[in-house]
Amino acid sequence: MKVLVTVKRVIDYNVKVRVKSDNSGVDLSNVKMAMNPFCEIAVEEAIRLKEAGIATEVVVVSLGVKACQEQLRTALALGADRAIHVETDQELESLNVAKLLAKVIEEEQPGMVILGKQAIDTDNNQTGQMLAALTGMPQGTFASKIVVDGDKALVTREVDGGLQTVELNMPIIATTDLRLNEPRYASLPNIMKAKRKPLVVKTIEELGVSIKDHTKLLSVTPPPERQGGIKVADVAELVDKLKNEAKVI
């Protein structure tokens, strides 16, 4: 079985995010970028499936600027077999990403597609679900456990009330939650090997997908800075302030 894993290049989680002064977005110039942590979990799961003899090939795909190849190389160093980079300088919203991925799936015919449930930059949590709708494949989102059993997959999902297990007919789409696994680190020999693994670059035109934006980003503002506190004389004053000034009770 071939497993396709998506990888997104995002701002490193250690970086203090700065909003551009004109509120047009987050300042990404000269900041450290990394693989989205949920995608790391997706890559790890695919590699474990391969190590368990269930998957035969792990293909990683990323969409975006040329530098996305750094994250693809990281995935190759972790153990993926080959990479596909759909190169574009355009900002892609979730639906466009899903459409492009659907095309890649059509070409690659994987038995399973694993995505991060969301990316830590925009926190949309949409692409996996949209992709399922576009391809008609069954979806198991927020997965904390994936078990392949012949032509079926049991996906345990993290839902509000606890855990829900769904049985899906392969091929499937799964999106990862934090508890699915703990990603490994790339070993030095594997980083070296990754340099020689195949990485194919494609364009949006080659995939024949027309990109159309459905949403417009109006503005991005940082959360308000924390104000200094004050001392209140007694409980009555506290209640009064909570009621009349903060208006929270």
Partner 1 sequence: MSVYQHPYKDVDFVIRHLLEFDAFCKENNLADVDTDFANVILSEADKFAAKYLVEQNQQGDLHPAKLVDGKVVETPGFGDSYNAFVEQGWPSLSASESFGGQGLPNLFSVAANEIWQSANLAFALCPLLGQGAISALEKHGSETLKAQYLEKMISGQWTGTMNLTEAAAGTDLAAIKTRAVQKDGQYKIFGQKIFITWGDHQMADNIIHLVLARLPDAPAGVKGISLFIVPKFLLDEAGNPAAENDLRCISLEHKLGIHGSPTCVMSYGDNEGAIGYLVGEEHCGLRYMFSMMNHARQGVGVQGLGITERAFQGALEYASQRVQGSDKAGNDIRIIAFGDVRRMLLMMKSGAEAMRALCYVAGFEYDKKSVAADEDKAAVDATIAFLTPIVKGWCTELAQELVSLAMQVYGGAGYIEEAGVAQHVRDARILPIYEGTTGIQALDLTIRKTLLDNGAQATLFIEQIQQCVDDLNMLEGAGDLQSALSSALDDGRAALAWLAENPKQADSVAAHNLQLWGYLLGGWLMAKSSIAAQQQLDKGEGDSEYLKAKLVTCQFYTEHLLVRTKASIASIKAGSEAIMSLSEEQFFSHVN
Which chain residues interact with partner 1 by CB under 8 A?
14, 29-30, 32, 70, 73-74, 77, 185-192, 195
Residue placing its CB nearer to partner 1 in the complex, 195 or 243: 195
Quote the least distance from Cβ 185 to partner 1, whole Å: 6
Q: Using alpha carbons only, what angle is made at residue 80 by residues 137 and 77, rounded to the nearest 5 degrees?
A: 145
What's the order of all strands across the beta sheet hosting 2-6?
Answer: 162-169, 152-159, 139-149, 172-176, 112-116, 2-6, 57-64, 82-87, 199-203
Residue placing its CB nearer to partner 1 in the complex, 27 or 108: 27
Quote the least distance from Cβ 20 to partner 1, whole Å: 14
Residue placing its CB nearer to partner 1 in the complex, 188 or 235: 188
Quote the least distance from Cβ 168 to partner 1, whole Å: 33
Distance from chain centroid for Cα 234: 49
Residue placing its CB nearer to partner 1 in the complex, 30 or 219: 30
Half-sphere exposure of 233 (CA within 13 A, CB side): 3
* Rounded distance between C-alpha atoms, residue 97 and residue 83, angstroms: 17
Quote the least distance from Cβ 125 to partner 1, whole Å: 26
Residue placing its CB nearer to partner 1 in the complex, 44 or 93: 44
Q: Taking the CA atoms of the chain, what radius of gyration do you get in angstroms? A: 21
Residue placing its CB nearer to partner 1 in the complex, 163 or 178: 178
Quote the least distance from Cβ 226 to partner 1, whole Å: 12
Residue placing its CB nearer to partner 1 in the complex, 26 or 207: 26
Quote the least distance from Cβ 140 to partner 1, whole Å: 29
Quote the least distance from Cβ 234 to partner 1, whole Å: 24
